[in-house]
Each structure stands twice: as structure tokens, then as C-alpha cells.
Chains A and B, each alone.
Chain A
Amino acid sequence: MSENTQTTATPQKYELPISGEQFRDETAAAYSPKLGKKRKRQIIVNKVDDGDTVPEILANTRTAPGILTMRGCAYAGCKGVVLGPTRDILQITHGPIGCGFYSWLTRRNKTRPKTLDDPNYMTYAMSTDLQEDEVVFGGEKKLMAAIDEAVALFHPKAIGIFATCPVGLIGDDVHAVARAAEEKYPGINIFGFSCEGYKGVSQSAGHHIANNKVFTDVVGQLDAVKEGKYRLNMLGEYNIGGDAFELERIAEACGLTLHSTFSGNSVYDEFASAHTADLNVVMCHRSINYLAEMMEAKYGIPWFKVNLVGADATAKSFRKMAAFFGDSELIERTEAVIEAEMVEVEKVRSEIRPRCEGKTAMIFVGGSRAHHYQDLLREIGVITISAGYEFAHRDDYEGRKVLPTITVDADSRNIEELKVTADETRYHPRITAEDKAKREAGGFTFSDYRGMMPEMPAGTLVIDDANHFEIEKLIEYYHPDLICAGIKEKYVVQKQGIPMKQLHSYDYMGPFAGFKGAVNFYREIDRLLNCNVFKFAKAPWDESPELTATYNN
């Protein structure tokens, strides 16, 4: 690859027109002293010292009540994010109707059943629609009846049950019902998730709950090995806007066998046999690192973090996958794919970059996207001057090296941390300890995530759980050219004449991952920054509102 494609080097320092410290102090002053003090620990002026040391940030902590927050709940993280994209695990929401309704197709997880006979339950929202008398007398009987009806109508091979807030409070035991149902229907894997919305402080608790149950009840249920020399699972890729389709295409072209994706465009059997693959690569660290860790401990599958957003990052990540397997043919084929793909990427990039160069962006989203998308923006010269996660933890900001120093508070303590030991028969380390050590000595990282902050310039603002008030302040202080966040923030920003890109739903476009995704994204950012529709916000008469008149005498 030629030198000029390396456009993504992070600048070391960025000087904000008004210092980040001033922003932090003046913003925090608007809050009550207690809240202001807390927010000051969540609004950090970035600084990167040798060895990737960055300032400590307070994360994964409660949002103050009454604050206009971006955050959702554990149910959304569990059912909406992690399990939702799977097409043949029939999913029943146990609770009143709302939760099932709002999580019905709204996350744009695409799926592609192979034949017309293949099951696809994603277009079906199923709920026990609990009523008042069931809330009073218990809803377990209704849940069991709902499972009976679901089995009779759909004949699924697996059923997931998702608990909502009132279910936990009235004491319905979704796990007991799942066990009883499994006895009744021995051929069907039925499991429950205690993902009541009040658990934890955000969606993040729901990710963990989902990981735990998928690990204990699904992965390892089927010892079927997919054909292929280089078999891997892709974790934390949810196929929003078709991202997984694009990554499947690249993997196939390189000669990799994608055993399963957790959980975009996925099916139950691929989950159940995921333990037979030889490598786990992790996209969204926040939502699925637990599963990667547990699969390594139980089955000996190594994992490493990848970033498949941004063409350069995609190339780098596929090179790393090829290097892991170490086969020269695979490495050569991967290089050939990258070279071929980069032709179009560079063509579009060089066309668009001059129009976007030097523009500023802010990203407040997710548990990984606020990091990944900085690479993609940088490829067309857009600088991210402030970023933060909606529901991430300190390790997503500062890197996994801080894991031992993270204190677990009361809100996280109730989320079960599974103790995992090696499987008696099926544990086999895919690479030996010596081999691993040798590779690591050569700079190959396993089980690590560097975090977002070491890859952001010093002087930029890192803000955890940024809220409406702070985004308003950021706009006032720094007038960014682009803001990336979610649907709730979309029109708040756009009403002010600043283009806003949704990075949960992609504004109903995509894919944005991989090579074709990068091209789509460059074009989309070009549209947002240069289409000029926002100029109509001011009418011509607003420019000179004073009336002047002349008299013709």
C-alpha cells in the first residue's frame, strides 16, 4: 500500500479556541455543587503521556435524575442490542406492552435468511402484554401459556424470555418458567434474561446480562464445526444498516471463514457452535468483551480487538486476522483484497477530502462508536474535538490496563460476574502460551483494548454520559461543523443549523463498516457538510431586519 493512504495518524495535540478546562468549570458551575463536582470527573481534557497513560475518567455511573439524558435501560441493552439481531431465537418480552413495542425493528439490524423456509422472527414483536390482575397475582402462568402458543405457532429451536421492570418487582421468575418450559419441550432451548430496566445505570448492564446467558445457555450446545481453514467469530457487530454483510463479503474474499457474528445476521446454530472457532475478534468492546473473555477461559479461544469502521482501520484489522493465522497464502490474499478495495476508497476519499478538511466534529454515542468513527472522519480530514460514550466504562476510555483499578459500585455489583473455568473436554488453547508470549513480544496484542483516549489528541474534550445541557454548551463554545449522536439529539442539533449524523441508526443508510461502508460514509459526510440546505434557516429579510424607506417627493 502506498504511503499516502496512511491518512489516519492522530495529531498529538489540538488546541480548542476556548480551553477545555474553562468549558468544564463553567458548565459544571450550572449544576448543584454535588452534581457539578461529579460532572467534573466526567468531563476530561485529554492528555496522553508515555505508555498510553491518560487522565482518569468517571464512567458507568448513575445519571442524575431529571437530567435530559441519552441513556436507555438494561432491557434495551439486552433485548434491543445483543439478542435482537438474531433471527431464529424467538424472543418474548415478559411485561406490559411498551417495551416489546419500542424494541420492534427500530434498531435496523438487517438479516438475510438463506431460503424462504428459513425462520425469521425479527419482524415479529412478541409480548405477554401483562395486565393489572397479572401484575397483582403474578404473570408466570401467562408467560408459560405464551410459550405454549409461540411453540405451537412458530416451532422455534430456541426461545429467549426478557424480563421488564415490573416482572422483577412482582417476583415472576423467568428462569423457573424457562426451565419448566424446557422440560415440556425438550427439543427447544429456552432461556430467560433478568434484564429489568432498572438494573445498572444504562444499557450496559443489559449487555452483560445478555452475554452471561448466551454463554451459559447457548454457546457450546452444538459441537458442529464449520468447514474452513481459518475460522473465527466476530463479536459485537450488530449489522446495523448492513455492516455485517459488508464484513462478511470482505472476510470471504480474504479466505476467512466467519463462523458466527454476535449477533448481526446470525442464527442460533452459529451461536451454539461458536466455541469450535479458533479466534474471536471483538468490534464493540463494551457490549461483548465479557463473552470473549469467558470463551477464552472455557474453550481456549484467544481474542483481540478490531476496528472495522474506516477503510484504514478495516485494512489494519484484516491484516491482523491474517497475521494471527500466519498462513502466507492468507496474508497474500488479504493484501490483494485490501489493494483492490482501496482503489475505490482512495478515489472517493481524494475527491471528498478537500471539501471536508479541517472541519470539526463531536461524537457522543455508544460504547465503541464514539471511538471507531473518529478514524473514519479523520480519513477525510474531519477532526473530532470532543467525544464521549453514552454507556461505556473506564476501560473503553482509558484502555483495559485500568481494569484492575476500576471500583465496582452498588449499581454494578448486582450484575452477575460469572466464574468461568476451562471446559473438561473441550478446552484447547488455539495457540500455546509460549507462542502467545512470543507474538506479544513482537507487538501483537491479545485480549486488549487500548481505549479511546490514547487515540485522541491532547487538549480535546472527553465527556462521559454527555447530556443535553452540555451539548448545548459545546455548540455555544465551539460551533462544531458536525455532531454525531442518536435520534433524541438529532433535531435538537439540526434546528440550530448544524448537521447531525445518527450513529445508532445511521439515518437509515449504510453500511458504514468495511471498505464499501467507508465510501458510503465519506459521501454521507460530504453531503452533510456541503449540501448547504441549512443556509435557508435565515430568510433574506432576517439579514437586515431594520426597515428603510425612501420618499419620492
Chain B
Amino acid sequence: MLLRHTPTGLSERKALTINPAKTCQPIGAMYAALGLRNCMPHSHGSQGCCAYHRSSLTRHYNDPIMSTTSSFSEGSSVFGGQANILESFTNIFSLYNPDIIAVNTTCLSEVIGDDLVQIIKKAAEDKKIPEGKTVIHANTPSFKGSHVTGYANMAAAMVKYFAKNTGKCNGKITLIPSFIEPSDMSEMKHIASEMGIKYIMYPDTSGVVNGPMDGHFRMYPKGGCPKESVVASGDSKAAIAIGRFGAMSATRLLDTQCKVPVHAVDLPIGITATDIFVDMLRKIAGVSVPESIRLERGQLVDVLCDMCQYTYGKKVSLLGDPDILLPMVQFCKDAGMEVLHVLTGTPPGKVKLEERIRELYGDKVIVKAGLLCDMFMFQQLVQENKPDLIMGNTYCKYMCRDLDIPLLRIGFPIYDRIGQSYVPMVGYRGGMHLLLKILNIFMDRQDRDAEEENVELIM
């Protein structure tokens, strides 16, 4: 047994987190910053933070993840990190020549109290930032929120530093996706394009962390949202936060700073959430839904209608980030599955996570969110009431093996399977991939577990 010490039934804990269902803010900020074109994410703290975040993202994406660090020493930890970051700017611009440096703080620089606004101002005054180049920053203290918060804060920093309202609407719709795969960002752009909508999307990591192998390494791959587009988002007709936890900080700022009318939807995972997303796009843009999207939807609905005998009544437990969990729970409901447990380490804040899940599943579902809601707790719940399927990140594989429960890998991090960065789970086509994976899991189990005389040729 890999997790041999986890007792069944909840243990009371107030201080010890065991097997976290979240990680810290800076990694989310680094990921978001990779979604700007020609941008070097910079970690203001010890080397270890940057090394850990780069390693983690590299394991998840199997692609180069570039990010620099202020390489704090004990001295900078006492006297402040200004000298280190100023030296960093010089080295980064001269050696790596980005258009943008996106700084995230760490628990170390936050505790010291380094004032990034003042430091960046000073760097500009001292001509440490070359003409036409920009340094932006987000405060991402690791002792608050989670990786999703860090992502949200860096997305908001993009608005803060770049978005401008010139008074002339450009007719575009700004799409701010939450912490999600590059394949999902592409898929949302595909939907908007098919609908004939002019859009701006940021952060947009598609083409950055799922780039091709063509014999060349590019420090700044071809993807990412150009700075000019972020600037222009201040003139957009409307903005949509796609996934409230990760995207609403940015849209709120677009509202207050640029008076852009803003909306919020769940990530379009599954039929219902995608319907809402498409419908919102349609109404805001004043367009009709084209045949191509209707076809994608129809095919997904077709498969679900044909195969829902394999999903109906199946019990599922989910672990992950709130923006993924909410629509995923809805999709489980759409497919007739019963959700037993939903858990996230990300604090729910003002978003009505539990209420919305209860709207779908009533009192039967167990929802845990925030501090001390971790994978240890999740396992305890799962051991008490065993589901047919667990959805969660790679770390769930240990309990799944111990308990012989199949695992559908969703969210972050996925270190042990490939594909999530290439194949989407949002939109109708993403819903199709997701549904096929779920069906294959249940059907493989049925084939494995059926009595010999009950093995079905046709399913």
C-alpha cells in the first residue's frame, strides 16, 4: 500500500496539511506570464522557488519553461532585494532580450516588504529598462490563496500595466481564461473564430508551452498574446472572465480601469457550460451560432445519448481547482453520474462553490474547499464511500492504486501522462474528448471485471 497510513473517516486537524490539493501563488503567476508574447517571467525571491516552478511546469508540459530569478542570498533577505532585481533587469534585457519582464513576488520578498512599484519606477528612472520594453509585476505571496490566485493576480497585472481606454471601442471581445491548458485556450479561440467574433485573449499560453519540435529552440515561442492586444483590450466592446476564480480579478480591473462591460462564465467544460459560453458570446457579439459549432455540439450530444448507459448512475469523486470543478460537476450531472465528493485546496473566497454544487446534487454531495482540505482528507472520504471514478491530478494515482479506482487525470499537475496540452477538454470538441475518456475508462473496467460469460463483443 502506497498510502498505508491514511485512516478511513475524517481525522480532525487544525494545523497539519497532508498531501496538498493546491500549491503556491507564484507558479500560477509564472504560467500566466508565459501567456504574453516575448515575455520573460521573473521570480523575485530565492533561486529555489524559480527552480521548483520551472521544474513543475516542465514536467507537466514537456516543453521548455523559461523564467529568471532574483537569486536572493542571505544578505538580500536581510537588506532587501532591490539590488538583486535591478541587476536582474540588466542581465535579462542584455542576454535574453524580452519585450516584457513579468515579475512575481514570493513569500520571501513579500515578508521583506520589497516595494515592486517603487523598484520598477526606479529602474525606469535609472534607465535599466530599455526603450520600448516593459516590466510588470504581480504580488503573489505564497501564504495566501493558491496557484489559482497567483494566476489571477498576474492576469490582473497585465490589465493594470497595459490596458488603455482611448475612448474608441474596437468592437472586440476580450476573453480572459482561468488557469487552464493551452489546448483549451486554443479551443475557446476556435469557437470565437467560428462565430466570426473578433477577440483578444490573454493569458494565452497556446503555442508557448505546447510548441512544435522543428529543430529550433525559441526563448519566446510564437504563441502568447502580444502586448498591443492587451493594451487594446481596454477599448474592447466587452470582456468575459472564463472561470471566475482565475479570471475575475482581471475583468474587474478592466471594468474599473477602462470601463469595459464585463461578464463571467464558468469554463466551458461539458455541454451545459459550453452552451452558456456560446450563448453569451452570441448575445454580446450579436452573431448567430454557425453550422460548424452546431455540428460539434450535435456530435457530442449524439455520443452522450448513445452511450449514457455506461455513465448513468456511476459515482465520481473530484479533486482540483474550483474553475475546473464547477463545470466538471455540471458535466457529471449532464451525463447522469452521481458526484460523491468535491475537494479543492483553493480557498473559495466569495465564489459560491459549495452552494452551486448543492444546487445540482443537494445535500448528498460532500464539498470541501480551502485550508486543510487536502488529498489526505479526500482519501479519507473516498475510503468511506468508494466512487467508481476519481478525477484529479497525478498525485491521485497513489490512492487510486491502493483502492483500485480508475483515475481520469484533469487539472494540474499531470506529470505522468501526455496530451492535456494538445487535446482540449473545453468546448464541444473538448467535451467529446472528455466523454470518450470517461466512457473508455468505464468500458475497460467492465471488460476487465465481467464474468467470462458476460464479456460483450458489442458495447
Contact = CB atoms under 8 A, between A and B. Distances in A.
Interface stretch (A52-60, A64-72, A263-271): A64-72
Contact of A168 (B13, B77, B85, B110): B77
Nearest to A538: B215
B217 A69 contact: no
B84 A197 contact: no
B448 interface: no
| Most central of B17, B55, B66 by chain A CB within 10 Å | B17
Contact of A149 (B14, B53, B112): B14
B15 interface: yes
Interface stretch (B20-28, B189-197, B285-293): B20-28
A455 B259 CA distance: 67
Contacts of B215: 495-497, 537-538
A277 to B, nearest CB: 29
A323 interface: no
B63 interface: yes
A62 interface: yes
Contacts of B88: 65-66
B15 A169 contact: no
A492 interface: yes
B48 A128 contact: no
B20 A32 contact: no
B70 A65 contact: yes
A444 interface: no
B71 A102 contact: no
A127 B46 contact: no
B445 interface: no
Interface string A82-97: 0000000000100111
Nearest to B415: A106
Given A67-B95, A198-B46, A198-B74, A132 B5 contact: no
Given A65-B69, A127-B17, A127-B20, A153 B5 contact: yes
A1 interface: no
Interface string B111-146: 110000000000000000000000000000111101
B166 to A, nearest CB: 34
| Most central of B16, B70, B372 by chain A CB within 10 Å | B16
Interface stretch (A9-17, A118-126, A243-251): A118-126
B4 A120 contact: yes
B423 interface: no
Nearest to A69: B47
A92 B16 contact: yes
Contacts of A492: 64, 66, 217
A417 to B, nearest CB: 16
B51 A488 contact: yes
A98 B27 contact: yes
B64 A495 contact: yes
Contacts of B85: 65
A193 to B, nearest CB: 14
B92 A66 contact: yes
A68 B66 contact: yes
Contacts of A146: 15-16
Given A102-B23, A198-B76, A35 B91 contact: yes
B47 A71 contact: yes
A101 B55 CA distance: 12
Contacts of A493: 217
Interface string B47-62: 1111111111011001
A46 interface: no
A149 to B, nearest CB: 4
Contact of B72 (A120, A121, A198, A469): A198
Contact of B58 (A104, A468, A488): A488
B282 to A, nearest CB: 39
B142 A96 contact: yes
Interface stretch (A73-81, A221-229, A304-312, A425-433): A73-81
Contacts of A35: 91
A165 interface: yes
Q: How large is the interface on A (under 10, 10 to 19, 20 to 34, 35 or more residues)?
A: 35 or more
Given A32-B90, A102-B55, A130-B143, A65 B71 contact: yes
B95 A469 contact: yes
A314 interface: no
A170 B52 contact: no
A539 B394 CA distance: 34
A248 B302 CA distance: 57
A120 B19 CA distance: 14
Given A69-B71, A125-B19, A495-B64, A30 B107 contact: no
B142 A198 contact: no
Contacts of A99: 48, 52
B100 to A, nearest CB: 14
B123 to A, nearest CB: 12
A119 B107 CA distance: 33
Contacts of B428: none
A293 interface: no
B46 A165 contact: yes
A150 B19 CA distance: 13
B298 interface: no
Contacts of B359: none
Given A65-B91, A142-B15, A201-B73, A488 B65 contact: yes
A116 interface: yes
A68 B95 CA distance: 10
Interface in A123-166: 123-132, 134-135, 142-143, 145-146, 148-150, 152-154, 164-166
Given A130-B143, A169-B111, A198-B72, A149 B52 contact: no
A131 B143 CA distance: 4
| Most central of A96, A119, A150, A496 by chain B CB within 10 Å | A96
Contacts of B71: 62-67, 69, 71
A350 interface: no
Contact of B5 (A62, A95, A154): A154
B395 A98 contact: no
B14 A487 contact: no
B144 A76 contact: no
B13 A64 contact: no
A76 B51 contact: yes
A199 interface: yes
A335 interface: no
B74 A414 contact: yes
A496 B217 contact: yes
Contacts of A334: none
B58 A491 contact: yes
A75 B48 contact: yes
Contacts of B75: 410
B2 interface: yes
B418 interface: no
B48 A76 contact: yes
Contacts of B48: 72-76, 99, 197
A100 interface: yes
Interface string A495-530: 111000000000000000000000000000000000
Interface in B276-322: none
Given A198-B77, A496-B215, A123 B14 contact: no
A197 B431 CA distance: 42
Contact of B108 (A30, A104, A149, A166): A166
B73 A149 contact: no
Given A121-B5, A146-B16, A134 B96 contact: no
B38 to A, nearest CB: 15
Given A65-B84, A66-B68, A72-B47, 8 more contacts: A64-B71, A67-B91, A74-B48, A120-B2, A124-B3, A131-B371, A411-B74, A486-B55
27 contacts: A32-B90, A66-B92, A68-B96, A69-B47, A71-B71, A72-B47, A73-B49, A98-B52, A102-B23, A126-B16, A128-B16, A128-B17, A132-B144, A134-B143, A135-B143, A143-B15, A149-B13, A153-B7, A165-B72, A166-B108, A166-B142, A411-B74, A487-B55, A488-B51, A488-B55, A495-B213, A537-B214
What are the nearest 5 A-B pairs in CB distance?
A73-B48, A66-B88, A98-B24, A66-B91, A145-B15
